[in-house]
């Protein structure tokens, strides 16, 4: 397990996550919104090469993370990919539990938190 899809509209956070995860040996692909992620995941289904994990921001333009999570959950091919959702509000945590979400992180989180979550799922 070493391919991670990051779906995040914040340029700085997206770039930081990519750098940190690359340094830990993970292959990272990034998307700036949910629509782009859905397109990438549809192409991945066709190629048969799915990401091992998705880090998904809930609040984004175009298509938000809530919609992406519901879409993932409804797809029998994609629903088993671990999803770590992120949001700037702690209140979203309870709602995120109802989604296809394996973990929830409140922004700002530090790199040790995200590495801990990613490592936990890469060991399973």
Level-2 CATH architecture, domain 3-122:
3-Layer(aba) Sandwich (3.40)
Angle between helices 11-23 and 111-122 (to 10 degrees): 50
pTM of the complete model: 0.91
Query: Which residues on neighbouring strands pair with residue 30, listed in sequence order?
Result: 6
pLDDT digits (tens, 9 = 90+) for 96-116: 667 768 888 888 888 888 899
Nearest to 106 by CA among 57, 33, 37: 57
Domain residue extents for the chain:
3-122
- Tell me the mean pLDDT in the region 70-96: 85
């Amino acid at each position: 397990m070493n391919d991670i899809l990051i779906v995040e509209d914040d340029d700085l956070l997206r770039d930081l996550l990519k750098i940190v995860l690359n340094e830990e040996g993970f292959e990272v692909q990034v998307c700036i919104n949910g629509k782009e992620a859905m397109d990438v995941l549809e192409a991945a289904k066709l190629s048969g090469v799915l990401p091992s994990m998705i880090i998904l921001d809930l609040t984004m333009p175009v298509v938000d993370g809530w919609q992406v999570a519901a879409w993932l959950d409804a797809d029998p091919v994609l629903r088993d990919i671990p999803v770590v959702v992120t949001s700037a509000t702690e209140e979203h945590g309870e709602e995120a539990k109802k989604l296809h979400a394996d973990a929830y992180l409140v922004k700002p989180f530090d790199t040790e938190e995200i590495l801990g979550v990613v490592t936990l799922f890469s060991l399973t």
